[in-house]
Amino acid sequence: MFRTSRHIGVFALLLSLAACGWVEVPFEGQGSYRPPATQSAEKEKAEQPKAIPGTVVVQKGDTVYAISRKHDVSVRGLIERNALKPPFHLKIGQRLYLPQGPVHVVQPGDTLYSVSRHYRTDVYTLAKTNNLKSPFTLTPGQRLKIPNSGNLTTASKNLDVPPRVNAEVTTKPKNKSTMRAKAEPRLNRKAIPKPAPRSSSRFAWPIKGRIISGFGTKRDGLRNDGINISAKRGAPVKAAENGVVAYSGNELRGFGNMILVKHSGGWITAYAHVEKILVKRGQKVTRGQSIASVGSSGGVVTPQLHFEIRRGMNPVNPNGFLKG
């Protein structure tokens, strides 16, 4: 799970579902005369669906995927909440209920980190969802909304079947023309190749730069399961060791574009916040091969690389396993 304490911010997402209004301007010399066109506009306004909290009304061009991204909910949750059926076509004016995550009632001794671990989410997303600010002190009885998001631990447990991003399905409507519609991300159950043997007992640095966030728990109670390295935007990110790409995508909220590389011996390396991904799932990579470029995707504002080394599911301090 990525938790970078220096870049946690609280963002408010303003979602407006209100219909467009109109302003009545009387004609010169006509007092408050209201022309027929205005009456028509008033009627059209009255026919607009009313905004209901926790719901969204489908607009022209909306897809399940687009709505999930706009409202920061999972595609699967949106589909299940509304009992949508393949190929998941939506109708203009259709009302969809947004999936609601569980609520945790804070108990004595709870911390933001312990709650995030219990629900298998990340501290960054949990703090953002609940508009929490440093030092993130919790009070017994406080109610926390649990985000509908995955994390690195969850992804690591499913390295052979990670979700595909921006999945598409091909459908044939009545006019027999072919169209593509965004659909629910599907699991790619094709097994990845076996990683090649490691070339060294230690991993290579994925990039040269200054460490701006180290491994471990921070003063504000947050924890970093890796290190964050400041670097120039566009600089090449290199594979730390021979391996095979187990995941490449941007589905884990707050982490931006990310790559997971599986190595022999049960080791995993993670590369997050990258700008451009140069490899795809199942592709074999060699130590020192360029696999991405430095960026600031996800929950950071400056160019950097978040890098993790994991032995199985457990994160280890990269400084003790990197060469040089």
Check residue 160 and give its pLDDT.
Answer: 42
- Percent of the chain exceeding pLDDT 70 equals 69
The pTM is what?
A: 0.52
Residue 148: its pLDDT value, please? 60
Average pLDDT over every residue of 260-277: 95
For 31-42, write each residue's pLDDT tens digit.
444 445 555 555
pLDDT at 230: 96
Q: So what's the pLDDT on residue 39?
A: 54
pLDDT of residue 229: 97
Average pLDDT over residues 131-145: 85
Q: What is the 3-state secondary structure (H, E, C) of the chain?
A: CCCCHHHCCCCCCCCCCCCCCCCCCCCCCCCCCCCHHHHHHHHHHHHCCCCCCCEEECCCCCCHHHHHHHCCCCHHHHHHHCCCCCCCCCCCCCEEECCCCCEEECCCCCCHHHHHHHCCCCHHHHHHHCCCCCCCCCCCCCEEECCCCCCHHHHHHCCCCCECCCCEEEECCCCCCCEEEECCCCECCCCCCCCCCCCCCCECCCCCCEEEECCEECCCCCEECCEEEECCCCCEEECCCCEEEEEEECCCCCCCEEEEEEECCCEEEEEEEECEECCCCCCEECCCCEEEECECCCCCCCCEEEEEEEECCEEECHHHCECC
Whole-number pLDDT of residue 91:
92
pLDDT at 296 (0 to 100): 92
Quote the pLDDT of residue 168.
Answer: 27
pLDDT at position 49 is 62
Mean pLDDT of the chain: 74
> pLDDT of 186-216, one tens digit each?
434 468 899 999 999 999 999 999 999 999 8
pLDDT in tens, 213-251: 999 887 666 778 899 999 999 999 999 999 999 999 987
**Confidence tier at 44 by pLDDT (50, 70, 90):** low
Better-predicted residue by pLDDT, 187 or 179: 187
Judged against a pLDDT cut of 70, whether residue 4 lies above it is answered with no
